[in-house]
Amino acid sequence: MNSFFISLGGGNEIGASSYYLHIDGMNFLLDAGLRYVNRKRYPAFSELSKFQFIDGVNDLDAIFISHAHYDHNGALPLLVSKLVEKKDIFCSEYTKKFSEIQLNILKKKMGIPQYELYEDVMVDRTLGMIKECPINQRVTNKEYNFTLYDSGHIPGATMIYLERGEKKVLYTGDFSDREYAITKRYNLPTIENLDLLIINSTYAHRKEDIDSWKLGENQLKKVLEHIKLYKKVNLKINHVNQGMELAIFLNEELENKGNENIKIYVDEPVYQMLSVLKEGEKREYKNIYLYQGYKRGDSCDIYISLKNREELKNIVALNLNYSLHSSYQGIKELILNLNPKKTLITHYSEENMTDDLIKDLEELGYFNCEYVKNEEIYDF
């Protein structure tokens, strides 16, 4: 087999994204994520050896991380623990800096029960392998080239374009076709004669137009209503990135409405991620403060915390659900615009999936598209 693809996780599921890519004698891994809710938390790294022509992860020539969400980078320490020699882990500047904060949270010594996954040495070794790369700039190696393009999902999130000989492969990672307070839509040049498109498709089952943050904006109004009634609100988050995203959205909404008297308090890891953005983007978040204890009294406060803090247990708690993924129309348009020789659809919920996307593409004259299943081989 000259070139093939295997999903080790994140194929017919949302979570644990990790994709093995063999291109003309070279081996790459695209992402290494965790499952948020599953006893089997990690991608099937050890299952690679069951394929007769693959020795395992030690044959990897390079590893790429599309962005700093745990379902795309959270299994890196486990992967690195299986490597005999160091490998290059490539990503954008923001993804590197965010990953340093995120992966340190996964150390056992941090004392956050749901995140006590790795020994310190595993995380430290991983961080020592990560190399930041510029966005929109072709990186040339002896045997392959790659370019990272803005995917519009979160700051630093990228699509990964690989060139090996005459083969061209694009992995979208999570991407967005809309602009938000936190990021702009994806930015991708025309790519001629693309051999393989690996596309993440969270909303490929919903044909109706979904502005995923609009759902969040409606919930944001609920937060402000609660503030008027109760003065203080506790927003429960599942991971540090969600805290950063919510804090930015809330800060912008409060500034736009002139509610600068309402303060947003965040945990230290969230504050660290915001500090990275403040430095890089030269932005100020006037309503956001580092959490240093519960503020009693009549002040209007929003708390965003990873930990179940005893002092916040009596405050009204809310969960905000939102997503910064591409719409159905955006997924379809990207496939049609690139017109690749083959498209593999990943990162979808098998339970919710329909054939609408493939049928729509076929009606428009594109027939080279299929849904991926984990641990199956796809030639290209």
For 94, the domain range is 3-208+327-379
User: For the chain, how many structural domains are there in total?
Assistant: 2
262 with 254: CB under 8 angstroms?
yes
pLDDT of residue 182: 80
pLDDT of residue 94: 97
pLDDT of residue 315: 84
Mark whether 307 and 233 lie in a shared domain.
Answer: yes
User: Where a domain ends, among 267, 283, 318?
Assistant: 318
User: Where a domain ends, among 318, 341, 356?
Assistant: 318
286 phi and psi, to 5 degrees? -70, -25
Nearest to 247 by CA among 222, 277, 218: 277
| The two structure tokens encoding residue 33 | 């994520």
CA distances from 39 to 35, 42, 54 (A): 8, 9, 26
CA dihedral (216, 217, 219, 223) in degrees, to 10, reads: 120
Mark whether 199 and 86 lie in a shared domain.
Answer: yes
- What's at 347, amino acid-wise? H
- Three-state secondary structure call for residue 177: coil
Mark whether 12 and 148 lie in a shared domain.
Answer: yes
Mark whether 59 and 124 lie in a shared domain.
Answer: yes
Q: Which stretches does DSSP call E strand in the chain?
A: 3-9, 18-23, 26-30, 62-64, 89-92, 130-133, 139-140, 145-150, 158-164, 167-171, 196-200, 232-236, 263-266, 288-290, 301-305, 316-318, 343-346, 369-371, 377-379
User: Where a domain ends, among 318, 339, 369?
Assistant: 318
Query: In whole angstroms, what is the distance from residue 133 CA to residue 171 CA?
Result: 16
Query: In whole angstroms, what is the distance from residue 63 CA to residue 312 CA?
Result: 41
Mark whether 162 and 242 lie in a shared domain.
Answer: no
pTM equals 0.92
Mark whether 79 and 194 lie in a shared domain.
Answer: yes
CATH number, residue 359: 3.60.15.10
Mark whether 334 and 258 lie in a shared domain.
Answer: no
Mark whether 204 and 158 lie in a shared domain.
Answer: yes
Q: Which residues contact 27 (CB under 8 A, 6 or more apart)?
A: 20, 21, 54, 59, 60, 61
Q: Which residues pair with 26 in a beta bridge?
A: 23
| The two structure tokens encoding residue 212 | 């995923």
Mark whether 54 and 77 lie in a shared domain.
Answer: yes
Angle of helix 268-281 relative to helix 240-256, nearest 10 degrees? 60
Mark whether 235 and 202 lie in a shared domain.
Answer: no
Query: In whole angstroms, what is the distance from residue 104 CA to residue 213 CA?
Result: 29
Q: Which residues contact 229 (CB under 8 A, 6 or more apart)?
A: none
Mark whether 100 and 180 lie in a shared domain.
Answer: yes
Per-residue pLDDT 10s for the chain (380 aa) are: 689 999 999 999 989 999 999 999 999 999 999 997 766 889 999 999 888 788 889 999 999 999 999 999 999 999 999 999 999 999 999 999 999 999 998 887 665 666 778 999 999 999 999 999 999 999 998 899 999 999 999 999 999 999 999 999 999 999 999 887 788 899 999 999 999 999 998 876 666 655 555 555 666 677 878 887 788 888 888 788 888 988 998 888 888 877 778 899 999 999 999 999 999 888 889 899 999 988 787 788 999 987 777 888 888 787 776 678 888 899 999 999 999 999 999 998 877 777 889 999 999 999 999 999 999 999 99
Mark whether 26 and 173 lie in a shared domain.
Answer: yes
